[in-house]
Structure 1
């Protein structure tokens, strides 16, 4: 009977002519597994992307629409030695819990058996140098076998299954030499016991499994903590919302059924399911995980709210601007997934090394055995030495060296408000020695505010706010918000580039340019803030000047000082007016700045710095910054940036503070340092250990302890990256 498999439910569009699916893959434990899967899937025709996320053992696949059946990917993974199925959050979490429990049971069995076998080995060791009878020694050996063999058969399953899948697919992974070493040690010990030999190595085999299981359990728990960051974001998503289907009638509907422009009700204690703007009501909202603000934000008319924000007190009516996968929360989640899947050049180096390691390990062990036999050693002694070589040269430490740092650093940077959007961003950011800032929306906050609202009579300012509602200009929107305007003035007409006008109760009202409102005479250029946008309001014979500006980010000055203290050059390149750029540069203590620059000018300046040998970090947020972000050595954008700029930037930072720029630089230095340390630890361990093992000095037991200790040392060293946030005084 032919059975068809339809996975179309799990396939989604990834852009024009491209389809995407996420698959959960079992048995992915190291960089070598990642490289093999990605190579195997990328070789399939029409596949445009194959990226493995080691953190949650998931592979993201993209291909030309209509060319491939997703079932072929699962078949291909099976050929490579891995079981796969469509990724679903709930099933993946259940599978992860089951695997964690099984791993813990294996560890418990192995640890219990190790303690008992070691207790039985002590009298044998002492008896071999005293007067123990051969029959007594054989009894202890057989007793050790009765404990070790069934315990190893159960506790070794995570490694044996993985190795068998790899060998069945005519390939190898790092579990193959581990399994061969354990089986050889057990087999040799059984043969020794049958022949009444003085030594058996049941203790070595079962202790090796214990060490390996400890390392794998620590690795899994470290990844679980990093996945918890993404899990926290996923938990913020509300699946339904109360949508107004009439003036006073609401209906609870799925988020997918909500569209921009519609109105939803947000009640106390609910999480917002959409991005939008409050049009009625007053409350406090907690949006700390979305924008980085730790204090509750007062939400009232005109306040933007985001999906995932918690409504604390009052009831709000919210006009939807984005829903479902278009929300800020969804964008942050995608960026975080990119960070966890990111591949650095150090990781690619480790991939290549791990790929070569398995055949090198097997060849080294075989040559060791043949070499010792050629020198006159017995087959028994030669095989024991070969087992020690096989065990001690397992490349687990090398496979963990980079992914563990990348995982820990990504989690630490996210907690500091930074998301990676590029695989090698950490290395490139660590090399940056010159920072170029855009001004508007980067050094300044993206929101406009009215500076002199208190100087204008309340009645007149309220009329100006209502008139501003008839304009699409962002400056007019700031005035309307500051005035708390709810309803526009009917009949208002907007003249492009000039302003808005209307006649109300026999009075002419105008809002816009000073020349449009006839208020040029009121301007005193000596007192007007050079960074302010000037808007005039005329009500009959009364005329007023409204000053609207963007404020500098609250921590911009200490951030610039911190960059200078780290010997990093700083300058501003902005398309804004010269007075505004000069005022910002003076306030921040930045002597090098240019105003009125075009995107081409920015790129030219970056190229000029490159020719001098500088490694430029570009920080910008506008659509016109996208080319310069791409041209720089490394780039960052705030989450408020235009979508194109976010897509171009290597890193994205959250919230209103600018300190994540310094945080990211410090984090990258620490992470790069740890990556290099781990590589040298892994390489140095093998350089020292392999000759010692080949010489025959080490027993399989000592080899097992040394190999597992190197892996655990690499993981513990990587975990030092979690302290990044506490080491920087600006992050507090």
Structure 2
């Protein structure tokens, strides 16, 4: 059933890829052939119960949290009562009273440890049953030994017992475990929330004209769909008839509705508000926007960074090391003091105080928080290691069209054109889908629409559009097409009547909001910036000059971009590539780390490490800040976990602590690590120009 790969690790025969997401508690498999491997049996051999994933069940309520809260409440109640009773013992109660109080504490502790501690015992047993170890093994052994020693001490009339240590250990550990579960559940709820936004089905327009309601899973690309006011868009689609306002806040983060008309693209999960529209599905549910976002979130949570791999390796050897240290402490105290009771007490204290819980939580809690903060700010991250790589960049390379710009042309001299002429040009331009024509239509929308309709409209590809009005021929397009007998700059889009120029339109691409501020901040922080574009020399020069980018290269093929990235890499530069087009995909893969806007081509989004959904470039700054803060918090958590154990271990071995103090110290270290991860903050991504230093963000 298993085969060995070159690295010597066991894997299922036929499995090509496996990914474990501990946050969502899922294993994703890709295998060769038509028959699925027996993955469930493999999971059982590792100590886990496996079930086929049910997407409908996945959107239900959290069933674990109520049980954890009940266990925490029971442990808290028992700990408070035992510590209250122990106060009398520690303050000097007589022998008979002390014995009675100890037996009362034992009666409280036993059911509490059985009920509240079962979370740790079951996990430890599953691990030990398969000859493995995890963090719950030393916890369970420590709790059981502390309780057993306390019962022994009570039976033989010793002055002190440690029922308070056992119950307090379970109580504090449950606090950390519950906090960890809550934060993971909040991140997991982001994926659940996306599933809720997806409708169960949609009205499909039959070829003969009738309507049929089909479940979401049966909707395929090419189907015609009818969306009524209040309907969620089921899959990515294109409007083919009708006009409506659509709430696109899921995609853009903006609350203002966007008007859609024939030709407009709609993403799955957006909300149709005002009118009925007919659409054509562009993708199935599994390939639509919502599904892609869910996959990106899950990939970000399950990906292992360099820090996570270090923590995993440390935790793998740490539990055996803890057991060894505890055993050696017992042997040492027996050798030097000869008192088995004292040696057992020290060994239990060592076992409890050095439990690797804090080390195990150091990285995943920060990664969970980072994924959540990025998602809240409409940034999808596909690889946890990308946050570390982003923190190392010293060069940023931008594509131009669709990245530094929105790929949307605009008229820059509309204020100098006669309003009546502009309105008339807009009316003629409305018959074309050319980007320049759409820009003229947008410029004319601000004017009162009094222009008459054109007749005999005809578009000449590559030249322009022609229409007849009241017997006169109007042309809009290249100057040589509109005014063949007049001298005019060929770069201008010209509007003419009977060959006489009425107006010339200066058009330029729309710079993406925040691009200027981003470039200024990068350059001011010593980060090298350049532009690589396949566009013509003049267009790239204009954008580079407008944004004050010192280095730019035009008319580049995809292979040329890869060569440039590789040249920078060989020179020791760590490059962030920001691009959107299909021609940017190879360069995105070659870069040290990469980003792409949501408007990017599918290939570009798939090859980028980060995908930002907002129009503005503020997401780039925000993502860097979260990456930087995540790295700092992970290093702090490592320092807390390692520093605590370096200090606590010799103290426990020398016998300067009791199991009770050890339980509190170890539990508090885990809580401190979780609380430190919760400090990760992220303000909203700004679409405007803001001052940013690679240390803090200020307005």
Task: Give the TM-score normalised by structure 2.
Answer: 0.88
Correspondence 1:693-708 to 2 at 5 A: 693-708=652-667
Q: Distance in 2 between matches of 1:424 and 1:552?
A: 31
Aligned to 2:640: 681
The change in CA–CA distance for 1:460 and 1:542 in structure 2 (over 3 A counts) is farther
CA distance in 1, matches of 2:205, 2:653: 76
Superposed displacement of residue 363, structure 1? 1.1
Q: What are the ranges of 5 or more consecutive residues in structure 1 without an aligned counterpart?
A: 1-38, 529-533
Pairs within 5 Å for 1:18-417: 43-66=11-34, 68-69=36-37, 72-92=38-58, 94=60, 97-127=62-92, 132-245=93-206, 249-417=210-378
C-alpha contact 1:42 1:49 (8 A) present in aligned 2: no
1:650 aligned residue: 609
Secondary structure of 2:62's match? Answer: helix
Q: Please report how far the alpha carbon of residue 510 of structure 1 lies from its aligned counterpart in structure 2 after TM superposition.
A: 7.7
CA distance in 2, matches of 1:489, 1:654: 41
Could you say if the C-alpha distance between residues 208 and 90 of structure 1 is closer, same or farther in structure 2, counting changes exceeding 3 Å?
A: farther
Q: Aligned with 2:30: secondary structure?
A: strand
**Deviation (angstroms), 1:589:** 1.9
Q: How does 1:489-508 map to 2 (within 5 A)?
A: none
- Deviation (angstroms), 1:539: 7.8
**Paired residues of 2:301 and 2:384 also in contact (CA < 8 A):** no
Q: Taking structure 1 as reference, are residues 52 and 258 closer, same or farther at Cα in structure 2, changes over 3 Å only?
A: closer
Q: Distance in 2 between matches of 1:64 and 1:248?
A: 42
Q: 1: CA distance between counterparts of 2:420 and 2:513?
A: 24
Q: Cα deviations across residues 35-56 of structure 1 (Å, max 9, x unaligned)?
A: xxxx999622222222221222
TM-superposed deviation, 1:465 = 3.8
- State whether residues 394 and 573 of structure 2, in contact with CA within 8 Å, keep that contact through their aligned partners in structure 1: yes
The Cα RMSD (Å) is 3.3
Does structure 1 retain, via aligned residues, the 8 Å contact 2:429–2:438? no
Mapped to 2, the partners of 1:673 and 1:120 lie a distance apart of 43
SS at match of 1:431: coil
Taking the aligned partners of 2:147 and 2:208, their CA distance within structure 1 comes to 77
SS at match of 1:720: coil
Q: Is the 8 A contact 2:345 2:658 kept in 1?
A: yes
Q: Is the 8 A contact 2:365 2:677 kept in 1?
A: yes
Indicate if the aligned counterparts of 2:480 and 2:488 stay in contact, CA closer than 8 A.
Answer: no
Compared CA separation, residues 162 and 563, structure 1 to 2 (3 A): same
Alpha-carbon deviations, 1:322-351, whole Å to 9, x = none?
A: 342232232222222211222111101111
Q: Which residue of 1 aligns with 2:518?
A: 559
Distance, in Å, in 1 between the alignment partners of 2:635 and 2:27 is 27
Match of 1:16 in 2: none
State the alpha-carbon separation in 2 of the partners of residues 420 and 520 from structure 1.
Answer: 56
Aligned position for 1:12: none
Q: Helix, strand or coil for the counterpart of 2:391? A: helix
Number of positions where the alignment pairs a residue of Structure 1 with one of Structure 2 = 674
Change in CA separation of 1:322 and 1:500 when aligned onto 2, cut-off 3 Å? farther
CA contact (8 A) 2:23 2:184 kept: yes
Shift of the 140–724 alpha-carbon distance from structure 1 to 2, 3 Å rule, reads same
Q: Alpha-carbon deviation of 1:269?
A: 2.2
Equivalent runs, 1:411-490 vs 2, <5 Å: 411-449=372-410, 461-466=426-431, 468=432
Cα distance, 1:282 vs. partner? 3.6
SS in 2 for 1:721: coil
**Gap runs ≥5 in structure 2:** 1-6, 446-452
CA deviations on 1:281-302 (whole Å, 9 max, x unpaired) are 4433221121233322233444
Displacement of 1:650 in angstroms is 1.2
Query: Which whole-Å CA distance do the structure 2 matches of 1:476 and 1:241 have between them?
Result: 35
Q: Alignment partner for residue 588 of structure 2, among 629, 632, 639?
A: 629
CA contact (8 A) 1:47 1:61 kept: yes
Cα 1:715–1:726 change in 2 (3 A) is farther
- Do the aligned residues in 1 keep the contact of 2:59 with 2:192 (CA within 8 Å)? no
Match of 1:36 in 2: none
Alignment CA distance shift 1:475-1:232 (3 Å):
farther
The C-alpha deviation readout for 1:105-147, integer Å capped at 9, x for no partner, is 11111111111111111111112xxxx4322211111111111
Displacement after TM superposition at 1:247 (Å):
8.2
Q: Deviation per CA, 1:83-125, whole angstroms, max 9, x where unpaired?
A: 221222443455x622111111111111111111111111111
Q: Is residue 425–residue 440 contact of structure 2 (8 Å, CA) maintained in 1?
A: no
Which has the higher mean CA deviation after the structures are superposed, 360-369 or 55-64?
A: 55-64
Measured at CA, do residues 726 and 509 of structure 1 come closer, stay the same or move farther in structure 2, by a change above 3 Å?
closer
Counterpart-to-counterpart distance in 2, 1:135 and 1:163: 38
> 2:124 touches 2:133 (CA, 8 Å); kept in 1?
yes
Seen in structure 2, the aligned counterparts of structure 1 residues 522 and 546 have a Cα distance that, compared at 3 Å, is farther
Alpha-carbon distance in 2 for matches of 1:317, 1:460: 29
CA distance in 1, matches of 2:475, 2:219: 37
Residues 626 and 681 in structure 2, CA contact (< 8 A), matched pair in contact too = no
Give the deviation of 1:546 after TM superposition: 6.2
Partner residue in 2 for 1:594: 553
Paired with 1:40 and 1:275, the residues of 2 have a C-alpha distance of 44
Query: Residues 566, 367 of structure 1: CA spacing in aligned structure 2 closer, same or farther, 3 A cutoff?
Result: same
Deviations 1:244-283 (CA, angstroms, capped at 9, x unpaired) = 3368743332234444444433222222223334344443
TM-score by length of 1: 0.84
* 1:572 correspondence with 2:531: yes
